Amino acid sequence: MSLFTHDATYYSNQIKRREVTATELVERAFKNIKSLDDKLNSVIHIQEAEAFEKAKSYDEHIVSLSDKERATLPHFYGVPILIKDLGQSEEGQPAINGSKLFKDNIAKSTDNFVQAIIDAGYIIVGRTNVPEFGFKGLTDPELFGHTYSPIGHGLSSGGSSGGSSGGSGAAVKAGFVPIATAGDGGGSIRIPASFNGLIGLKPTRGRIVTGPDGYRSWQGASVDFVLSKSVADTFETLKLTSNQVLESPYLAPDQLPETITATDKKLRIAYSHKSPVGSEIEQDAIDALNKTVEILKSLGHEVVEDAPVVDGKRAMETYFQMNMVETAAMFKGIELSIGRDITKDDVELVSYGMYKAGDRVKGWQYVHALNSWDQLSAQYHQFLDKNNYDFFLTPTINGTSVPVDAFDINDDIRDRLERIDELEDEEAFGIFGELFTDSLAKIPYTQHANLTGQPALSLPLYETKDKLPVGSMFVARKGGEAALLELALQIENAGFIKSDIIDLNENPI
């Protein structure tokens, strides 16, 4: 069987025991992608020559080592991995960002995060699909098309794998590779984790290494990491990609321990299914949360129905302002690079509209927006501290996955985006609140941790009667990843995590 049914740590240990070679694992990854990805559309580029060259060198090196020396090799030595094709550049490889504007773009340097992945021992085998510039909770770039979840949803148009790390989520759940990189600027690790039944950690702002081309992606709201099947892979990769770059504007407040163990503490956890933006909550999300509460109680923890009082609508207003301004800044930089203005023919209409709207946001408005993030962070931390809560628990998503076309633009919004240069500022800004109304109703919980900088962990603990997953999201204080993962390890050891792969040969979609 060529599918990767186990986690990355398992396969690295096999290599170090010389039970399998890196070359054999890389061959398996390419076989999986080539034979099955036509059902998912998760991978947009493979790099066979480079991967096989690296695997060969790894295999030649390990032959000469003693058992003791092999134990000192990088933790994930020889394990194949896929890289999210958005803001995670590798020198000499495509860096397309889901956009036809970059369809021929080749990276001139390697990002520090990707270098950390390489230094951890992983062998990069390709790059995964993303929505253009990562703006959506689904993966549907016009350049490459929709990415589907390997979990059969029985929906006429197919079930989405989520976004923006939808390609990575689909590939890991289908067993193409044991792990893949991801990134999260508003839920883009946790959404695919929930839709596909995987473990998805959004680390603390400043935890993961950034640069060298940019150190404050989306003002620190966006962070790179991985989608995985095990707590061990999550923790070890977290350690190996942690920020050691002092010029970074953000640094996590606490150092990670060398190891973690399943928590033996009685934790006090607040929980709520209430939407921060007032949307109606689906029964599947409520059932998932209730199941998680049952699990926590069975493990001896105290759970209290409670939630912080925050202005969720204002938080999302500032989130959209950030999206607009950061898009405008990015596009202005691209224009300087290519020596001309970007037009509607270069990018998707939503991206163009974000650019034009962002160009109108006043400096004082953006400063006020960022200040409100700090206030939101204070509210969340005070909520935890004053009530002696360890974590705050919600559903990750408001229910199960959706059809790939669920958030398509309607004709009215499309018309206004086409005419955005003619609109007054407030009308131009208002388009995006309307545009993302449906997606925000489906995905109301994830964005706050991006604004506050807190770590948030989605765990696959519940499936509907139709075997559709709904994640449960635990939010901790800044720097609290180890505590989150110690709870996750306890839950995993008790057999409650449901992260097994879907074999597309047995479950055609």
| 404-420 pLDDT, tens digit each | 999 999 999 999 999 99
Q: What's the mean pLDDT in 205-227?
A: 95
Does residue 173 have a pLDDT over 60?
yes
What kind and span of H or E run contains 95?
none
Give whole-number Cα distances, 82 to 133, 148, 169, 206, 379, in Å: 18, 17, 10, 23, 37
Q: What's the mean pLDDT in 288-295?
A: 99
CB 233 within 8 A of CB 192: no
User: Exposed (0-12), middle (13-18) or buried (19+): which is 52, by Cβ within 10 Å?
Assistant: middle
DSSP state of 193: H
pLDDT, averaged across the chain: 96
Q: Which of 57-71, 117-131, 156-170, 326-340 has the lowest mean pLDDT?
A: 156-170
Q: Which of 150-154, 240-244, 481-485 has the lowest mean pLDDT?
A: 150-154
Among the listed residues 88, 93, 99, 177, the one whose alpha carbon sits nearest the alpha carbon of residue 131? 99
Query: Residue 344: what residue type?
Result: K
Distance CA 314, CA 437 (A): 14
Q: What does 154-213 look like in DSSP terms, one character per residue?
A: --TT-BB--SSSHHHHHHHHTTSSS-EEEEESSSTTHHHHHHHT-EEEEPPTTTB---SS
Q: What are phi and psi of 200, to 5 degrees?
A: -135, 110
3-state secondary structure 396-431: CCCCCCCECCCCCCCHHHHHHHHCHHHCCHHHHHHH
Summarised one tens digit per residue, pLDDT across range 484-494 is: 999 999 999 99
Domain covering 8-264+454-493: architecture: Alpha-Beta Complex (3.90)
Summarised one tens digit per residue, pLDDT across range 221-263 is: 999 999 999 999 999 999 999 987 788 899 998 899 999 999 9
> What's the farthest any 2 CA atoms get from each other in the chain?
70
Among the listed residues 421, 444, 452, the one whose alpha carbon sits nearest the alpha carbon of residue 349? 421
Please give the share of the chain, as a percent, with pLDDT higher than 70.
98
